[in-house]
């Protein structure tokens, strides 16, 4: 399918990207940024399309960031398919695809990283020590390289979205962070590059994450304010899938992502579940109290 737009320019250097964007800004054009680790799917494309609708120049970055993987995690095996990614970027409306190599992003062993506070220690941060510091460091670099822009992140990674928004505000970075809704398969499974790891039986059970969140949200909407009861309800739904191994179920205030007494106001329900090699996450919002 042709979009009628020229194919996106591929850019591998920080210097080259800065030069292109300086030229665009000098012409008064606004910039949208979509940071990704590649192996793109319709979820990523929804971010690119949103950036396309709201900006003059759309940059998609593709970089599997070693800093956010712990030893024993899937950095080496993380799925990669650059040719397919470039086609998807073209179809979704990207102007520039920034594909830096590891040497370009980290020419020296890193001596300076972003260190986050309590938001990074809970939920996924509890089982992936240092993960969000690695995310925040690469996102800070991308924000520094791209400069003033709107940056688009998925709600699918809700803790990441929260942390990045907070980092941009705390460090006065000239970036408007925009959260975008989760794109799902017809059976409710959130699209994720890591879904590629799922075997057939695991894939058929994976929509249990979504069902658990729906059950949790229904309980909160029926008046339940005890986070532990909501978490137990979600865990009991996940336990119906024999191949699922729960990492966490959580019902937390949206502002702190940490339980502190009865649920009130805007609440986020989040789950993380392992199916074999795949660690899947999902979340939803609801109002309590």
Q: Is residue 43 involved in binding ligand AMP (CB under 6 A)? A: yes
Q: What share of the chain is helix, strand, coil (3-state, %, to 5)?
A: 40, 20, 35
State in angstroms the smallest separation of the CB of 156 from ligand AMP. Answer: 4
Instruction: Single out the catalytic residue among 20, 44, 131, 279.
Output: 44
Mark residues 2-41: x for contact with ligand AMP by CB under 6 A, - for none.
----------------------------------xx----
Residue closer to ligand AMP by CB (options 152, 263) is 152
Stretches 43-51, 102-110, 122-130, 210-218: which one binds ligand AMP (CB under 6 A)? 43-51
Pairwise CA distance, residues 98 & 35, whole Å: 9
Nearest to 178 by CA among 157, 150, 141, 156: 150
Three-state DSSP class for residue 134? helix
For 218, residues 6+ apart whose C-beta sits below 8 A from its C-beta are none
Nearest to 60 by CA among 27, 28, 76, 82: 82
Q: Is residue 182 involved in binding ligand AMP (CB under 6 A)? A: yes
Q: Is residue 191 involved in binding ligand AMP (CB under 6 A)? A: yes
Among positions 95, 157, 202, 231, the unique one binding ligand AMP when judged by CB under 6 A: 157
State in angstroms the smallest separation of the CB of 119 from ligand AMP. Answer: 16
Q: Is residue 47 involved in binding ligand AMP (CB under 6 A)? A: yes
Among positions 24, 32, 46, 58, the unique one binding ligand AMP when judged by CB under 6 A: 46
Residue closer to ligand AMP by CB (options 154, 219) is 154
Residue closer to ligand AMP by CB (options 183, 227) is 183
> Catalytic annotation on 41?
no
Token digits for 171? 């460090």
Residue closer to ligand AMP by CB (options 123, 263) is 123
Q: Is residue 192 involved in binding ligand AMP (CB under 6 A)? A: yes
C-alpha of 128 from chain center = 15
Sign of CA dihedral 52, 175, 31, 133: negative
Among positions 190, 219, 220, 263, the unique one binding ligand AMP when judged by CB under 6 A: 190
Long-range Cβ pairs for the range 106-112 (8 Å, 24+):
106/66, 106/67, 110/67, 110/137
Asked if 179 and 151 touch (Cβ cutoff 8 Å), the reply is: no
State in angstroms the smallest separation of the CB of 228 from ligand AMP. Answer: 28
C-alpha of 157 from chain center = 4
Q: Is residue 44 involved in binding ligand AMP (CB under 6 A)? A: yes
Token digits for 20? 């292109």
Asked if 277 and 74 touch (Cβ cutoff 8 Å), the reply is: yes
State in angstroms the smallest separation of the CB of 164 from ligand AMP. Answer: 8
Token digits for 246? 């729960």
Residues with a known catalytic role: 44
Residues at the contact surface with ligand AMP, assessed by CB under 6 A: 36-37, 43-44, 46-47, 153-154, 156-157, 180, 182-183, 190-193
């Amino acid at each position: 399918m042709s979009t009628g737009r020229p194919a996106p320019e591929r850019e591998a250097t920080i210097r080259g990207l800065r030069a292109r964007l300086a030229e665009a800004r000098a012409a008064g054009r606004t910039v949208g940024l979509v940071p990704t680790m590649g192996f793109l799917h319709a979820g990523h494309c929804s971010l690119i399309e949103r950036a396309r609708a709201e900006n003059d120049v759309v940059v998609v970055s593709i970089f599997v960031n070693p800093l956010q993987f712990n030893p024993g995690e899937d950095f080496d095996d993380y799925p990669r398919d650059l040719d397919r990614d470039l086609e998807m970027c073209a179809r979704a409306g990207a102007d520039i695809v920034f594909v830096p190599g590891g040497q370009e992003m980290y020419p020296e062993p890193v001596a300076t990283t972003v260190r986050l506070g309590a938001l990074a220690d809970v939920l996924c941060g509890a089982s992936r020590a240092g993960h969000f510091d690695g995310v925040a460091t690469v996102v800070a670099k991308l924000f520094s390289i791209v400069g003033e822009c709107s940056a688009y992140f998925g709600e699918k990674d809700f803790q990441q979205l929260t942390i990045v928004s907070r980092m941009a505000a705390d460090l006065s970075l000239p970036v408007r962070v925009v959260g975008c809704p989760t794109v799902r398969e017809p059976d409710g499974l959130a699209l994720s590059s890591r879904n590629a790891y799922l075997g057939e039986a695991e894939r058929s059970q994976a929509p249990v994450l979504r069902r658990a969140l729906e059950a949790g949200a229904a309980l909160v909407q029926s008046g339940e304010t005890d986070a532990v009861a909501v978490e137990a309800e979600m865990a009991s739904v996940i336990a119906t899938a024999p191949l699922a191994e729960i990492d966490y179920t959580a019902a937390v205030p949206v502002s702190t992502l940490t339980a502190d007494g009865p649920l009130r106001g805007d609440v986020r329900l989040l789950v993380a579940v392992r199916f074999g090699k795949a660690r899947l996450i999902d979340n939803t919002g609801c109002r309590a109290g």
